[in-house]
Amino acid sequence: MMHLTATAGKSILIGENCLFANVIAETTDHHTVFDLGTKQPLNSGANIIIGDRVWCARDVILMKGTILGSDVVVAARSMVNKRFGNKVLIAGCPASVIKENIAWTERAEATFMPEKFGVL
């Protein structure tokens, strides 16, 4: 299941062949935090952009400004709030890169089949 909320003129763009397990993505925080010194808002909204073949595991939160490349895995219960490149596994709150040069399959495969990843 995916809960998408794109407000404040911002967008959520999602690539092809992605898999989401109970994910929340919101382009704003819904409430504004102000810096009392500058009187300026701190938490303005931003677009969320997701590449192709991104798997967001269970209970992931994609915050404003999230930008994910292609072939990315987001570990369960992670909170993402910045930009990551291609072929990375990210995890944590806030998410950071745990493994690089990865690919994932939709089914629980026991062995690597290169034809599935275009690396023949």
Binding site for ligand COA (CB under 6 A): 21, 57-58, 73, 75-78, 89, 91-92, 98
Nearest CB to ligand COA, comparing residues 66 and 78: 78
Nearest CB to ligand COA, comparing residues 46 and 79: 79
CB of 38: closest distance to ligand COA in angstroms?
34
Nearest CB to ligand COA, comparing residues 7 and 105: 105
| Distance from C-alpha of 36 to C-alpha of 90, rounded to nearest angstrom | 34
Contacts for 102 with CB less than 8 Å, ≥ 6 apart: 71, 73, 87, 88, 89
CB of 106: closest distance to ligand COA in angstroms?
9
CB of 79: closest distance to ligand COA in angstroms?
10
CB of 32: closest distance to ligand COA in angstroms?
29
Closest CA to 52 of 9, 101, 18: 18
E-assigned strands of the chain? 2-5, 12-14, 19-20, 23-26, 48-50, 54-56, 61-62, 67-68, 72-74, 79-80, 83-84, 88-92, 95-100
Nearest CB to ligand COA, comparing residues 13 and 76: 76
